[in-house]
């Protein structure tokens, strides 16, 4: 079992869409960044990469690389999923919080969870997203920016207690007596 945490923040500006969890949310301000600046997905990616000891999103998707200019963070999350698979990890669960004074995010959370679960190839029940304000305090409370925090748990294919394929035999490698 491996645990990772992620944190991200982006400044709110005019003339940009507000995208959180792959959902475009109607608002007068959007998040500034090299990609689509999806602060929620960025925090989740950092948590996943950290749990797998694979660095952070800056290492994999530097903001100096023009190929990531304006890219959907959901595409970046897909790349993180592939890195986890390549390194033998499965996502057990993700818990994330978005900190924003406005807009109210409750109507969009179910779609965010669905988008992220689909991209990661996990069940919607393995991800929980919450939203909160800071009661007018700090940079999020004064609507200068939005931040997000995430924590996740990963298991390695070989340390997981799950039995792939059902029954007493797994459908995986030939490295143990269960195959």
The stretch 160-168 carries a mean pLDDT of 48
Read off the pLDDT of residues 34-88 as tens digits, 9 standing for 90 and up: 999 999 999 999 999 999 999 999 999 999 999 999 999 999 999 999 999 999 9
Return all residues near 4 (Cβ < 8 A) that are at least 6 apart: 46, 47, 48, 49, 50, 51, 52, 151, 152, 154
pLDDT of residue 173: 54
Q: Does some domain include residue 176? A: no
Tokens of 9: 């923040």
Q: Compute the distance between CA of residue 70 and CA of residue 139 in angstroms, rounded to an integer.
A: 24
pLDDT of residue 9: 98
Residues above pLDDT 70, as percent of the chain: 88
**Beta-ladder partners of 54:** none
Q: What's the DSSP call for residue 153?
A: E
The stretch 157-171 carries a mean pLDDT of 52
Number of domains into which the chain is organized: 1
Q: Compute the distance between CA of residue 113 and CA of residue 126 in angstroms, rounded to an integer.
A: 9
Q: Does some domain include residue 131? A: yes
Global pTM exceeds 0.85: yes
Read off the pLDDT of residues 103-125 as tens digits, 9 standing for 90 and up: 999 999 999 999 999 999 999 99
What is the domain extent for residue 84?
Answer: 2-157
Q: Does some domain include residue 173? A: no
Q: Compute the distance between CA of residue 3 and CA of residue 171 in angstroms, rounded to an integer.
A: 26
Q: Does some domain include residue 40? A: yes
pLDDT of residue 162 exceeding 60:
no
Q: Compute the distance between CA of residue 116 and CA of residue 108 in angstroms, rounded to an integer.
A: 13
The stretch 88-107 carries a mean pLDDT of 97
Q: Does some domain include residue 165? A: no
Give the CATH number for residue 39. 3.30.1330.50
Q: Does some domain include residue 31? A: yes
**Beta-ladder partners of 24:** 19
Binding site: residue ranges?
A: 8-10, 34-35, 42, 56-58, 61-65, 132-135, 139
> Of residues 3 and 168, which shows the higher confidence score?
3
pLDDT of residue 157 exceeding 80:
no
Q: Does some domain include residue 177? A: no
H or E segment to which residue 12 belongs = strand 2-13
Q: Compute the distance between CA of residue 57 and CA of residue 50 in angstroms, rounded to an integer.
A: 10
pLDDT of residue 31: 97
Q: Which residues of 34-68 are buried (b: 16+ CB within 10 A; e: fewer)?
A: ebbbbbbbbbbbbbbbbbbebeebeebbeeeeeeb
Q: Does some domain include residue 16? A: yes
Q: Compute the distance between CA of residue 134 and CA of residue 129 in angstroms, rounded to an integer.
A: 17
């Amino acid at each position: 079992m491996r645990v990772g945490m992620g944190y991200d923040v982006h400044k709110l500006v005019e003339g940009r869409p507000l995208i959180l969890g792959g959902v475009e949310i109607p608002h007068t301000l959007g998040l500034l960044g090299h990609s689509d600046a999806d602060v929620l997905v960025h925090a989740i990616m950092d948590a996943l990469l950290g749990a797998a000891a694979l660095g952070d999103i800056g290492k994999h998707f530097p903001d100096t690389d023009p190929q990531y200019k304006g890219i959907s963070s959901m595409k970046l999350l897909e790349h993180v999923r592939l890195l986890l698979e390549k390194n033998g990890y499965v996502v057990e669960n993700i818990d994330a919080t978005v900190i924003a004074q406005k807009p109210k995010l409750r109507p969009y959370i179910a779609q965010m969870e669905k988008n992220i679960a689909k991209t990661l190839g996990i069940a919607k029940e393995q991800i929980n997203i919450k939203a909160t304000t800071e009661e007018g305090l700090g940079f999020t409370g004064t609507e200068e920016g939005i931040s997000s925090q995430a924590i996740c748990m990963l298991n390695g294919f070989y340390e997981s207690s799950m039995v792939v394929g059902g029954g007493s035999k797994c459908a995986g490698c030939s490295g143990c007596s269960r195959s």
